[in-house]
């Protein structure tokens, strides 16, 4: 069983954090009035049995990108796939449903407004705290490297403590 969801949009903008810096010398953030570099989206999968997480970062969050992500998941796993996902419109496209029928994949849709039932949602909070919060990345590639570094770190330490915030 694999839980799938999207995380984002991921923007190149400074994210405020907290520090013990004296009030007289505040650290200034750069202005971000425009988004000339666009945004990115993380397509992520969490395998329930092995507690492994995997992801791909894409420029867009359409049905074509989602179908490509499902094909990559299919290449990683043999046998029947059970994929838990929400009712986001790219998940419900006819080509996605037809692909699932042809490739021995069962899509299990969650009820509307019940995304908290998807186990991958628990994995996004540590990712957000460790990679997105208190950061100012110079490029999307730098952010992608940080996200993939966190996922590798997380997969080596797949204990329950990670979900509670104790590292």
- Entry pTM: 0.79
**Which CATH number do you get for residue 94?**
3.30.420.10
Is residue 12's pLDDT more than 80?
no
Classify residue 89: in a domain, yes or no: yes
Total domains, the chain:
1
Please provide the average confidence, as pLDDT, over all residues in the chain. 83
The rounded distance, in Å, linking the Cα atoms of 87 and 90 is 8
Encode pLDDT of 38-51 as tens digits: 889 999 999 998 89
Which residues form the domain of 90?
2-6+39-157
Q: For residue 90, what are the contacts with CB-CB under 8 A and spacing of at least 6?
A: 61, 62, 63, 65, 66, 96
Classify residue 115: in a domain, yes or no: yes
């Amino acid at each position: 069983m694999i839980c799938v969801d999207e995380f984002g949009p991921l923007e190149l903008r400074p994210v405020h954090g907290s520090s013990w810096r004296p009030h007289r010398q505040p650290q200034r953030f750069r202005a971000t009035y425009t988004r000339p570099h666009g945004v990115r989206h993380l397509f992520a999968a969490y395998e329930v049995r092995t507690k492994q997480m995997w992801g791909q970062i894409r420029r867009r969050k359409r049905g074509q990108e989602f179908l490509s992500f499902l094909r990559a998941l299919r290449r990683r796993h043999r046998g029947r796939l059970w994929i838990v996902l929400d009712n986001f419109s790219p998940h419900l496209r006819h080509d996605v449903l037809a692909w699932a029928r042809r490739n021995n994949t069962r899509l299990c849709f969650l009820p509307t407004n019940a995304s908290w039932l998807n186990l991958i949602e628990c994995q996004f909070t540590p990712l957000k705290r460790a990679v997105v919060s208190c950061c100012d990345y110079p490029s999307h590639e730098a952010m992608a490297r940080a996200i993939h570094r966190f996922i590798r770190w997380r997969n080596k330490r797949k204990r329950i403590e990670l979900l509670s915030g104790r590292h």
